[in-house]
Amino acid sequence: MERIGLILLFQGLLLSSAQADVATFNTQLVQAAMDRTAHQVKYDGRYFKLDYPNGDVPANIGVCTDVVIRSYRQLGIDLQVLVHEDMDSAFAQYPSKRIWGLSRPDKNIDHRRVPNLQTFFTRHGQKLAVSNDGADYQAGDIVTWMLPGNLPHIGILVEQTSSDQKRPLVVHNIGAGPQLEDMLFEYPITGHYRYQPSSH
């Protein structure tokens, strides 16, 4: 019985440590997202030839995906590389051929497309339920929407909440640069994810 108790105690400590790691990561990701709101960024989705790894479009431009990419990169996580490598090994799992008619990965643009990030987060993170209850969402979660005109969109949830405290606010770029806004339920939600690489 004593040995079982020690095993359970050890498992409890491991679980507590893992939970603390997740909480720390989420706090860092939220801070990185909030930092994006201090940058002046013009909405510009043009195709650019990027460096690899750590390639980025000019700092004064970007789209919704660049908010997510730059936030994770601030934590040393390069979604350009991670998405490209995953697509290189499992291209058929991604929608690039169906949506854009591509026959192979393109490291310059793949990670900057919402449907590809949705596929990557589904494959390597947690795909969570979509609901209309703000309590089901937490800071550090990634949410995707479908905007009018069939335009996919993505943002990061943060710790600040709406004035009625019923839903987390969102850091996103919907056209005016990175903004902190109460818009979680403004558009149909198409995905809800949590992503923390195993090395963090």
Length of the chain: 200
Torsion angles phi and psi, residue 156, rounded to 5: -115, 130
The structure tokens 């499992």 sit at 90
Residue 113 above 50 pLDDT? Answer: yes
> What integer pLDDT is reported at residue 23 of this predicted model?
84
All structural domains of the chain with their residue ranges: 2-194
> What integer pLDDT is reported at residue 170 of this predicted model?
98
Domain 2-194 has CATH 3.40.640.10: no
Confidence of residue 45 (pLDDT cuts 50, 70, 90): very high
Residue 39 above 80 pLDDT? Answer: yes
**Cβ(184)–Cβ(168) under 8 Å?**
yes
Residue 4 above 70 pLDDT? Answer: no
68 vs 191: CA distance, rounded Å: 14
Mean pLDDT for the chain overall: 92
- pLDDT tens-digit map of 121-165: 999 999 999 999 999 999 999 999 999 999 999 999 999 999 999
Residue 8 above 50 pLDDT? Answer: no
192 vs 117: CA distance, rounded Å: 11
> What integer pLDDT is reported at residue 12 of this predicted model?
55
> What integer pLDDT is reported at residue 13 of this predicted model?
47
Residue 6 above 60 pLDDT? Answer: no
Confidence of residue 21 (pLDDT cuts 50, 70, 90): confident
Beta strand extents in the chain (DSSP E only)? 42-43, 61-62, 126-127, 142-147, 151-161, 168-172, 179-181, 189-194
Lowest average pLDDT, out of 23-27, 45-49, 169-173, goes to: 23-27
- pLDDT tens-digit map of 156-174: 999 999 999 999 999 999 9
